[in-house]
Structure 1
Amino acid sequence: MTERTPTPMDLLDFPGAAELIAAGGVEPPSAEAVDGAWAAVARAAREEERATMPATPPTQLTSRRVRRPRRLLVAAAAVAAIATGAVAYPVLDMGGEPAATASASEFFEGMAEVAEDAPATTPAYWKVRVETDNQDDGKRTDTNYFDREGRVWSVDADGTVHEPPAGEEGKVKKWPVGKKWLTWPQLEKLPTDEKTLAAHFPKDPNTRFDQVTIMLEDSPAGPELRAALFRILADTPGMKLVGDVRDSKGRAGVAVEITQKSWVRLGGGGGGGSEVTLHTRDRYVIAPDTGLLLETTHKTLGKNTTTPADRYTWLEVGPAERVE
Structure 2
Amino acid sequence: MKSITVSTGASRKGIVGNVVLEVSLWILALVILIPFYYLVVNTLKPAKDVVARPMSFDWSTLSIDSYIKAFQDMHYGHVFLNNLITTGGAVILIVLIGSSAAYTLVRRNTKLHKFVYYLFISSIIVPFQMAIVPLFKIFVKMNLMNTLLGVILVFVFTNIAFVVFLYYSFIRTIPYALEEAAKMDGASVLRTFVSICFPLLWPVTGTVIIIQSVAFWNDFFVQILFIVSPKYFTITRMIYANVGIFSTDWSALLPMFVLGMLPILIFYVFMQKSIIGGITAGSVKG
TM-score, normalised by the number of residues in structure 1:
0.21
Q: Counting helix residues as a fraction of each chain, which structure ranks higher?
A: 2
Higher strand share: 1
Higher Cα Rg, which structure:
2
Work out which structure has the larger RCO, using CA pairs closer than 8 Å and 6 or more positions apart in sequence: 2
